[in-house]
Structure 1
Amino acid sequence: MAPLRLDPEYAQHLANVMSLFGTQTPPRAKVGDVATRRTASDDLWPILMAQLPPTPDVEKTHLGHAKSFDGHEVPIYRFAKKGASQDTAAPAIVYSHGGGFIALSVELYSPLISTYVAMSGVQIFAMDYRLAPEVRFPAPLEDCYAALQYVHDNAVLFGVDVARIAVMGDSAGGGLCAGTAILARNRGLPLAKQLVVHGNLDDRNIKTSAWPELAQFATWSSEDNITGWDAYIEAGHEFKNYIAAPAAPARLENMSDLAPLYLDVPALDILRDEGIEYARKAARAGVEVELHVYPGVPHSFEVLCPRTKIAKAAMENRVRAMISF
């Protein structure tokens, strides 16, 4: 068996990107150290986002707030091309940002979300869901669902076709996106598509010894994964059937009637197998599935090295999925 290796072009670009960090290279944080990971993510993300091309034709608007299940007011933002007509019903996407359940924000994600809008022409609504461990499941997920409900309730105002609303997210946001799709099905809220990008889907993927062949490539490590899940789901939490799947979508047993699924995952990502298995289960349940596995790259490769051919291909595939419903 040939050893795993980085895509050569990606490896070359990565060396250049690492030089941008300088002394800001993130420290190796211990399991459970949320504060260090949050600070490192929030500090480094703007450096990565600065690699993306400007999007002067996209405007971001703070719309107000959506009310979550416990009365919390969730900030909602709309990203749309300037001058876009609101008189004709059009598709829309509700986006959940990444950050391991513990970090980042819509503000920090704005360049990436704006890039998706610029490339697709589809308006995106994003929410600042509450972060763990300050709040735990179900609050972050219910915040995402509240944003989806908000877009449905205000569809006419924003020129949105209620039959063409999708959810999308990456990393932890991908897990929240998949969980939102489950809630939408369970609660009877129409959903046109779910786009899960290298999502955190399975809380059981927390053994530090499970991925020795991937450890050298990990930009999202087993230690990070344990920390994120332990922050999101309280330690010792007893899963029961009615809450297990929305919290950790990989636990879902009945995947029938879910919205069509687009899912992609890097081959050098510890989340690879859970993503592939999620897509397989969905397909066997009769869900329309599109799956992409990108060889030679790790978690968040398209953000780390956006100018590589493989990153551009991934973005093009996502954009095609964004305009397909």
Structure 2
Amino acid sequence: MVSRWQLVLQWVRFEKRLELMMSSRDRIDPELMPLVEMSAEWSAATLPAQREALDAMGQAVGAIPLPDMTRAELRAIDGPDGAPPVQLLIMTPTASAGKMPAILHIHGGGFVAGSAQLYRPQLASLSAQLDAVIVSVNYRLAPETIFPGAIEDCFAALKWLFAQAEELGVDRERIVVAGESAGGGLAAALAILARDRGVGPLVAQMLAFPMLDDRTGSTRDAGDFVGEFVWTAADNKFGWSSLLGRSPGDNEVSPYAAPARCEDLSGLPPAFIAVGDLDLFLEENLEYARRLARAGVPIELKVYPGAVHGFMLVETSRAARLYAADQRAAYLRAFG
């Protein structure tokens, strides 16, 4: 006869096997493991240290000399009514002739951290490759500034870019919004806001694993094999709570905060969406792409196997190199 304790032991062993079967660790691209190993929890308690580390990284990156073909400029512009100025990092090719396309870039960081300076080398390289002006926005961060502070800062930057196109040598007919993670969500929201306020036209929205839906990981299950590493459901709830100033998932969230909430996606610019198949945002990105296509918006969707959130930070990895090539091709098509 099997004793009660033997049954308990069998059940514990079964649960352990089930836990191992449901883990995504064995599916991660080995080249991306350094990113996984260095990731940490995001919370109100860890945020000061996270910001300090990113600020130090930004200072180190800012000290790296840029290639001769690109120049960088920091400029402060008028912010939204009653708000402080918005700081922009502007990358301009030095050898360009004629009007250039432009990218309004929005950095990631879960709405609570990060800066344009962290992306300085990548933006300089992209500016030279595409012969394009890149304007990256240092928007106000949560939880100190809740919605709509960040998106209004980005909108102020977009209006300024259109208004100053002549001075910058920019072709107003070839302006794109782009971003990664929270910045990708802000870029998608900015495309909706620009459409609704009559600013544009934008020729494309370039979204890298965009943070689109406040319900993911809070009121909606994201699935068993995503979001286990780098950016988790708990991290996501913290990021959205910080932005909204309350718990995410209720029925009062604006589509200018969470683009997945937007009921009408028609009339938006063509979209390029890239995401890893182990990213917490996989399903919300797939669903947004489906809805864009249903609304008649041209969509290019790339899903990278074995890739976790932020995979492109491991620049030497195959996944990051594939993404860089796909992104560059999408930009070239958008710019004609």
Above 0.5 in TM-score? yes
| Residue number in structure 1 paired with 2:72 | 60
Is the CA contact 1:76–1:125 (under 8 Å) kept in the aligned structure 2? yes
Judging changes above 3 Å, is the alpha-carbon distance between structure 1 residues 46 and 219 closer, same or farther for their aligned structure 2 residues?
Answer: farther
Sequence identity percentage = 33
Is the CA contact 1:136–1:231 (under 8 Å) kept in the aligned structure 2? yes
| Residue number in structure 2 paired with 1:39 | 52
Deviations 1:151-192 (A, max 9, x none): 100011111111111100000000000010001100111111
TM-score, normalising length: structure 2: 0.83
> Secondary structure at 1:67's aligned position in 2?
coil
Residue 82 (str. 1) matches residue 94 (str. 2)? yes
* CA–CA distance in structure 2, aligned partners of residues 306 and 287 of structure 1: 30
* CA–CA distance in structure 1, aligned partners of residues 23 and 234 of structure 2: 23
Q: Give 1:227-306 correspondences, 5 Å limit.
A: 227-235=238-246, 240=252, 244-303=254-313, 305-306=314-315
The CA deviation at 1:117 is 1.6
The CA deviation at 1:309 is 2.0
Is the CA contact 1:69–1:146 (under 8 Å) kept in the aligned structure 2? no
Q: Which one of the candidate residues 166, 171, 176 is aligned to 1:161?
A: 171
Is the CA contact 1:267–1:294 (under 8 Å) kept in the aligned structure 2? yes
Q: Give 1:138-149 correspondences, 5 Å limit.
A: 138-149=148-159
> Secondary structure at 2:104's aligned position in 1?
strand
Residue 188 (str. 1) matches residue 207 (str. 2)? no
Name the stretch that deviates more: 67-76 or 162-171.
67-76
Q: Which one of the candidate residues 301, 308, 326 is aligned to 1:317?
A: 326
Judging changes above 3 Å, is the alpha-carbon distance between structure 1 residues 29 and 154 closer, same or farther for their aligned structure 2 residues?
Answer: closer
* CA–CA distance in structure 2, aligned partners of residues 224 and 204 of structure 1: 13
* CA–CA distance in structure 1, aligned partners of residues 309 and 107 of structure 2: 14
Is the CA contact 1:163–1:192 (under 8 Å) kept in the aligned structure 2? yes
| Residue number in structure 2 paired with 1:22 | none
Deviations 1:119-173 (A, max 9, x none): 3222201111000111011010010111110010001111111111110000000
Judging changes above 3 Å, is the alpha-carbon distance between structure 1 residues 269 and 35 closer, same or farther for their aligned structure 2 residues?
Answer: same
| Residue number in structure 2 paired with 1:173 | 183
Q: Which runs of 5+ in 2 are unaligned?
A: 1-20
* CA–CA distance in structure 2, aligned partners of residues 168 and 322 of structure 1: 10
Deviations 1:214-251 (A, max 9, x none): 354x21111211111111011058654xx611110001
* CA–CA distance in structure 1, aligned partners of residues 285 and 58 of structure 2: 24
| Residue number in structure 2 paired with 1:128 | 138
Is the CA contact 2:89–2:117 (under 8 Å) kept in the aligned structure 1? no
TM-score, normalising length: structure 1: 0.85
* CA–CA distance in structure 1, aligned partners of residues 223 and 36 of structure 2: 24
The CA deviation at 1:205 is 0.8
Q: Which runs of 5+ in 1 are unaligned?
A: 20-24
> Which structure has the larger Rg?
2
Deviations 1:252-309 (A, max 9, x none): 1100001111111111100111111111100000001111111111011111x21122
* CA–CA distance in structure 2, aligned partners of residues 46 and 214 of structure 1: 32
